[in-house]
Amino acid sequence: MQQALYINYIAFLTIVKRESRRIFRIWSQVFLPPVITIVLYFVIFGHLIGSRIGMIHGVPYMQFLAPGLIMMSVITNSYAGAVSAFFGVRFSGCVEEILVAPVSRVTIVAGFVAAGAMRGLIIGFMVTLISVFFTHFHIQSPVLLFCILILTSILFSLAGFVNALFARGFDDISIVPAFVLTPLTYFAGVFYSITMLPAFWRDLSYANPLLYIVNTFRYAALGITDINIKISYGVEVVLVGVLLYMIVHFMRKGYGGKI
Any idea what DSSP says for residue 55? E
Amino acid letter, 151: L
Question: Which pLDDT score, from 0 to 100, does residue 258 have?
Answer: 55
- Please check the confidence at residue 46 and state whether its pLDDT lies above 80: no
pLDDT band at 256 (very low <50, low <70, confident <90, very high): low
pLDDT band at 125 (very low <50, low <70, confident <90, very high): very high
pLDDT band at 217 (very low <50, low <70, confident <90, very high): very high
- Please check the confidence at residue 257 and state whether its pLDDT lies above 70: no
Cα–Cα distances (Å) from 187 to 17, 157, 198, in that order, read 35, 20, 13
Mean pLDDT of the chain: 87
Q: What is the mean pLDDT of residues 79-95?
A: 86
Alpha-carbon span 205 to 194, nearest angstrom: 8
Global pTM reads: 0.91
- Please check the confidence at residue 4 and state whether its pLDDT lies above 60: yes
Lowest mean pLDDT among 14-18, 34-38, 49-53, 57-61: 49-53
More confident residue, 120 or 203: 120
Q: What is the mean pLDDT of residues 94-114?
A: 85
Alpha-carbon span 100 to 256, nearest angstrom: 12
**Count of residues making up the chain:** 259
Which residues sit opposite 177 in a β-bridge?
A: none
Q: Are residues 69 and 41 in contact, defined by beta-carbon separation less than 8 angstroms?
A: yes
More confident residue, 109 or 169: 109
- Which candidate, 192, 183, 123, 126, places its Cα nearest to that of 152? 123
pLDDT tens-digit map of 143-188: 989 999 999 999 999 999 999 988 888 778 888 888 888 888 888 8
